[in-house]
Amino acid sequence: MKLHAAVLASLGFAASVNAIAKVTRTGRYLYTDDGNRFYLKGIAYQTQGQIISGPDNPLNQPSTFVDNLADDAGCARDIPNLQALGANAIRAYSVDSTLNHDSCMNALSSAGIYVIIDLTLPLNGSIDTTQPSWSTNLLNQYINTINVFNKYDNVLAYNVGNEVLTSSATNAAPFLKAAARDIKTYLASIKSSALVGYADIDGASSFRDAVSTYLSCDPTGSNSDATSIDIFGLNNYEWCGNDSTSTYDGINGEFQNYNVVAYFSEFGSENCNPVTRPWTEVGTLFASPMTNVWSGGLAFSYFSAQSQGHEFGMVTLSSDNKTTTTNADWDNLLNQYKQVSFVNSPSQSSAPASSFGACPQEGATLAASSTLPATPNQAACQCLQSSLPCLFKPPTPDYNVLLGTLTGVVCGLLPGVQGDCSDIAANGTTGTYGAVSGCDPTIKLSYAFSQYFELTGKAETSCDFSGNATLVSNNVNVVPSAAVASCVANPSATFTPSASAPASSATGGSSSSGGGGGSSSSGGGGGSTGGALSFAQGPIVGLAAAAACVVWGAMWTLL
Ligand SMILES: *[C@@H]1O[C@H](CO)[C@@H](O)[C@H](O)[C@H]1NC(C)=O
Ligand SMILES: *[C@@H]1O[C@H](CO)[C@@H](O)[C@H](O)[C@H]1NC(C)=O
Ligand SMILES: *[C@@H]1O[C@H](CO)[C@@H](O)[C@H](O)[C@H]1NC(C)=O
Ligand SMILES: *[C@@H]1O[C@H](CO)[C@@H](O)[C@H](O)[C@H]1NC(C)=O
Ligand SMILES: *[C@@H]1O[C@H](CO)[C@@H](O)[C@H](O)[C@H]1NC(C)=O
């Protein structure tokens, strides 16, 4: 759908003949609706979150976030800078769907600036690296964000994850693919043409190949794009100082035949300790042969962002936040961006359509099955919750550590009473997904509590868990597995998620608004790449939502 001025006006925009052009994907390239190739030439735009140490944050990643797109004064202050830089795109890593973004988004649109929005949030707001699930709480979070941003004409893409996969943990890949599938059908259902993306941490070529190929493959072998991302972002920091153009020969070769759009979702290394970054990679990135493979990139970072002793930020705020000072890196980036002229080829009509090939075999570099988890089913999960005899009573406001602890406890107890946690478990390596695994983690815990209650002769003391569980007297005779069979009629169903993400119903005094994915932490660090490149080349302290490990009280696995 082309957004004409009248349509824009009806959506609450000032009618304007200069509306920002729509950007779409044709094959592996982006084009504006006048048929010209589009390249992202921009910058990461996100205040770095606060690092709050604790048991739910083993990697000391940012736990909080600022929604810069809801900061009207901040946007008004920064947009002239972004225009001076010649930026046509920014990336926002965490947004709050309860806030109003009209002022910022409309001003960015008027300035010709597109936005890539990460749907993830820090801590439990992302698919977790080592204990992943694709569940109603995350789907609802993603949909709530999309619903808020859908009215703007300058959202280029939504990312379903940032640096979730690492070379030592790729088992979350099927969950990311399922997220891409469900978000794509959801976007189609609301007539959005925004693209669906993922931002990948750099690593050895075997890791990059496996991840990029998997995220854009077709597990059904029928050349379908249904589970493919549209746009692959590589957070690439391999260029140092005044390196030569051959620096990128490796990745150019690797992505030579990639089937969808590829770009640098972050770039700009500090790893080689340059006094100032000359940003000479810009000239290489926006010239042939790179333009055959890549669609530009986003420099890291507008705001202060510290990682491993390096400062990536190029703009400093005054103490009252009212004015900005830019540094020498900024000046160099500005000068490099100024010299860019977009290579307008291939033409849209000659750009070949993408083909979606078979998924890569599981192996040493990819622990990801081609069997994907189901679409999280809110109605089925609510039905289950309202049937269960023993419910988790989440404390407020932060129950994630407790949720992880109690899940570990009950899953440790169940085998002793001929039970197990297989219904709530999900395993992306084996492609095995329990019938309850797509539910909110609080419902999963209630289900495990209820199984324990049932298997211990329904003693009232079996539904206690140090006061964290509550008995629902009307449901004491419900057999939990029977409730699953009746509520979750088709556990592997995929379908278009519903437009409204309803708040879960509360039963038996238990509020189930959302739920934690156990205790997780954000950031893509940890592990080693086993190649020439190491994580040390990129900001390990990513801006916000990636994911790391869940600390269950006791480890348990699918039986
Ligand atoms: C890059 O080259 C420029 C021009 O020769 C020089 O001024 C600058 O110091 C160099 N920067 C680095 C980091 O090597
Ligand atoms: C400046 O902005 C930061 C981040 O948005 C915020 O945390 C801080 O409180 C602000 N300071 C003032 C003086 O407004
Ligand atoms: C994350 O946990 C908090 C409580 O600690 C909860 O309010 C929120 O809904 C959870 N988010 C998701 C996506 O599960
Ligand atoms: C819930 O369980 C935790 C861990 O066993 C315990 O410390 C806490 O006191 C319990 N909460 C309540 C409300 O009883
Ligand atoms: C998935 O199953 C495999 C094979 O049984 C096991 O090695 C792995 O630890 C499991 N992963 C998770 C996240 O439970």
Q: Is residue 306 a part of any domain in this protein? A: yes
The pTM assigned to this predicted structure is 0.89
- Same structural domain, 272 and 311: yes
Quick one: which ligand is closest to 244's CA? 1
Of 282, 251, 259, 231, the residue nearest 116 (C-alpha): 231
| Ligand 3 atom showing the smallest separation from residue 441 Cα | 14
Kindly indicate the confidence band of residue 59, based on its pLDDT and cuts at 50, 70 and 90.
low
Ligand 2: nearest atom to the Cα of 317 = 1
44 lines ligand 2 (CB under 6 A): no
514, 140 contact by CB (below 8 A): yes
Residue 535 lies in a domain: yes
| Rounded Cα distance, 133 and 226, in Å | 19
The catalytic position among 163, 238, 254, 281 is 163
Q: What is the pLDDT of residues 332-346, one digit of tens each?
A: 999 999 999 999 999
The CB of 124 under 6 Å from ligand 3? The reply is yes
Residues 320, 395, single domain; the answer is no
CATH number for 451:
1.20.58.1040
57 with 123: CB under 8 angstroms? yes
- Kindly report, residue by residue over 412-457, the tens digit of the pLDDT: 999 999 999 999 999 999 999 999 999 999 999 999 999 999 999 9
Tell whether ligand 3 has an atom less than 6 A from the beta carbon of residue 144: no
**DSSP at 342:** -
Quickly state the pLDDT bin for 327 (edges 50, 70, 90).
very high
Convert the pLDDT of each residue in 171-204 to its tens digit.
Answer: 999 999 999 999 999 999 999 999 999 999 999 9
343 and 384 share one domain: no
Q: What is the pLDDT of residue 275?
A: 84
Are residues 317 and 425 located together in one domain of the fold? no
Sole residue written with tokens 């769907």? 97
> Ligand 1: does its nearest atom lie under 6 Å from the Cβ of 242?
yes
Specify burial of residue 473 (Cβ count, 10 A radius: 0-12, 13-18, 19+). Answer: exposed
Tokens of 404: 């992880």
Based on the domain organization, do 403 and 293 belong to the same domain?
Answer: no
Q: Is residue 313 part of a domain?
A: yes
Same domain as 382, residue 305: no
* Residue 503 pLDDT > 70: no
What's the CATH number where 317 sits?
Answer: 3.20.20.80
- Write the CB contacts of 249 (distance below 8 Å, at least 6 apart in sequence): none
Residue 61 has what pLDDT? Answer: 73
Do residues 549 and 519 lie in contact, with contact meaning Cβ atoms separated by under 8 Å? no
Q: In which domain, by residue range, is 495 found? A: 378-549
Taking all residues of the chain, what is their mean pLDDT, rounded to a whole number? 88
Residue 323 has which token pair? Answer: 């004015």
Is 311 one of the annotated active-site residues of the chain? no
Any catalytic annotation for residue 163?
yes
Looking at the structure, tell me whether residues 392 and 336 fall in a common domain: no
Determine whether the shortest distance from the Cβ of 47 to ligand 2 is under 6 A. Answer: yes
Instruction: Pick the atom of ligand 1 nearest to 275's CA.
Output: 13
Question: Which residue lies with its CA nearest to atom 12 of ligand 5?
Answer: 427
Residue pair 160/180 in contact (Cβ under 8 Å)? The answer is: yes
Q: Which pLDDT tens digit goes with each residue over 101-160? A: 999 999 999 999 999 999 999 989 999 999 999 999 999 999 999 999 999 999 999 999
- Residue 340 tokens read as 């860019």
Query: How many Å from the N-terminal Cα to the C-terminal Cα in the chain?
Result: 49
Note whether residue 511 is domain-resident: yes
- Separation of 513 CA from ligand 3 center, angstroms? 8
Q: Do the beta carbons of residue 37 and residue 343 sit within 8 Å?
A: yes
